[in-house]
A and B are shown apart, each in its own frame.
Chain A
Amino acid sequence: MELLINLSYIAASIMFIYGLKMLSRAETARRGNLLSALAMLLAVVATLLSGGLSFQWIIVGLIVGSIVGAFAARVVKMTAMPEMVALFNGSGGIASLLVGWAEYQAEPSGDVFRTVAILLAVFIGGVAFSGSIVAFGKLSGRIQGRPILFRGQHLINAALVAITAALAVLVVLNPAGTYLIFILIALLSLLLGVLLVIPIGGADMPIVISLLNSYSGIAASAAGFIILNNVLIVAGSLVGASGLILTNIMCKAMNRSLTNVLFGGFGATTSTTTTAVQGEVKAITAEDAYFILEAANSVIFVPGYGMAVAQAQHTVRELAELLEANGCEVKYAIHPVAGRMPGHMNVLLAEANVPYEQLVEPDDVNPIMPTIDVAVVIGANDVVNPAAREDESSPLYGMPIINVDEAKTVFVLKRSMAAGFSGVENPLFFKNNTRMLFGDAKQSISTLVAEFKEAIAA
C-alpha cells in the first residue's frame, strides 16, 4: 500500500510538470490546467488513503474550503481578477504557515533539518500571506495604491530580517523550549510581508504579484521538507520557478531590476526630476474624434489600467466592430505590464470577446506605427510615454514602450491631466499629433459608438 501511495505521488509530480508545460502554450493551456488539477486530486486522495488519519476535521476543512473557493472563483468579475489572485495566493501562504506551526506544535523537538524547514515554511508562508493581503488591499483600492514610504524603511526591514534570523537560530538550538520565540518569528514574518509590499506602487503590482506567487510556491516546498514529501517539494519549486520567470518577464518589460522594484519606492521620489515639457495640450470633443476615426483606415487601441477601472472593454470592442464594418483595420496593442497583473488586458479583452488575432505585442506593432492613422490610448499612460525613449533623465528611460506618438494621430482618453502611477509627466500629451479626449473612458467611447450608429442609420 505504501508503495502504491508513493507511486501516486510520483505520478502526481509528473502530471504537475506536464500540466505546467501545457499551461504555457495557448493550444494546450486549458487541458494543462485540468491535468494539474487532476494531479492535485491524486495527491490528496493518496494522502487520505495513506492511513492513520482521522477524517472528521479533514472533511470539515475540505468542504468549507471548497465552498468558499468555488464561490469566490465563480462570482469574481474579470476586472477584479488581480485582487482575487492575490487573495488565493495569500490563502496558500497562510496554509503553509499553519502547516509549519501545526508540525512544530505536534513535535517541537525534531532534528535541525526539520526545524529549519518548519521555520522556512512559517516565515516564507507568512511573508507571502501578509504581502498578498496588502497587495489585495492596494489592488481593490482599500489601501492607497501609491507607494507608502518612510525614512529608514530599508534599515528597518534589514533589521527585522536580522532579528528574525537570530531568533530562528535560538529556535534551532533549542526547539522544544522556545515556543514564544517561534510565535514571535511568525508575527515578524507577517510584519515583514506588509513592510515589503507597502512601498511598492500600483504600476509595479504585476511584478509583486508574480513574486508573491513564487514565495507561496517556495513555502509549499518548505512544507514538503517538513513532512518529507516529494510531491510538495517538486510542485512547490515548480511554482517558485514559474513565479520567478514571470517576475523576470515583467521586470524586463519595464527595464528595471528586481532590486529596483523592491527597494526603489518608484514614483514617490521622482516627481522633482522631470524636465519641463513643451507644447500645449489640445483637447478634442467626441464628435470631432468621430470624424477622424470615420476617415481612418487603420486604428490601434492601446488599453491600460484606466480601461479596467472604467470597465470599458465591452464598449471598446463595440467601437472596434463598427470601425471594421467601416472598412478600417483594427488592432489592440498590449504592453506586458499594462494593468495591475501580468496579462491583465488580455483577460479583460477576452472577456469582451475580442478576437485573439487582433491582439498584438509592442514589438510587432512598433515598426508599422508610422503607417497607423489613429492610435487610441485608453487609460494607459506610462507604457506610451515617449520620455522612456527620449529623455535620459526620466525615471522611465529605457523601458520598452508602445510608440503611439509615431502614429499619424493619437487620441488619449483620460479623466484629467494627472500623471500616471509612476508620477512622471507624459510629453505625449503635448505632442502636435496628440488630441486629448477628456472624461470617463467608457462614456467617451459610448459617445463615439453612438455617433457611428447614427451615421449608419442616417
Chain B
Amino acid sequence: MGSSLRIFLRPERCINCYACEVACEKTHEGMGNIKVQGVPLVCLHCEVPPCITSCYRGALEIKEGIVVIRKDYCTNCGICVLSCPFGAIMVTEVERDGKKIPRIHKCDGCWERPYGFAVCALTCPSGAIGWERFEDAVVSKREKVYRLYLRG
C-alpha cells in the first residue's frame, strides 16, 4: 500500500473536467474530499499540520506521511475545519433521526482502499493530479523551474 507515495497537484494541467470530484465522491460514500474551482485542491498533508495541533481529542494522526481522521475519536466539532489554512477539511450535513448533523471528512490518501492508489490521480485524464514519491516530485518540480529559468 503506497508507502511513501503521495498526491501531487499540477494545477496548470487541469482541464476542469471534474472527473476527480466524481471519483472521490464515489469512493468515499458521497463525501468528496477534492474540490475543483478552476484548479483541484486536496489536503496537502502538511509536515506540521495545524489540524493535528488544534484537535483536542487526538483524532487526527499521520499515517505514513498521510494525515487521516480516526472516525471513532472524531466528535465532528468543527475545530479542525477552522484551523486548516487551505480550507481542505470538508463538512457535509447528514440526516440522523430527523436532524441534520455535520460530518467532517478530509483526504485520506485512499490509504485503506484496495487499489493502493489515490482514485483522483487514477482518474485524472490530463495528469494534473500525480501519485508519486516525494523525492520524484521534488526533482520534477526543480526541473520545471530550471527549464523556465533557462528560457528566461
The yes or no verdict on A and B being binding partners is no
Chain A interface residues (CB < 8 Å from chain B)? none
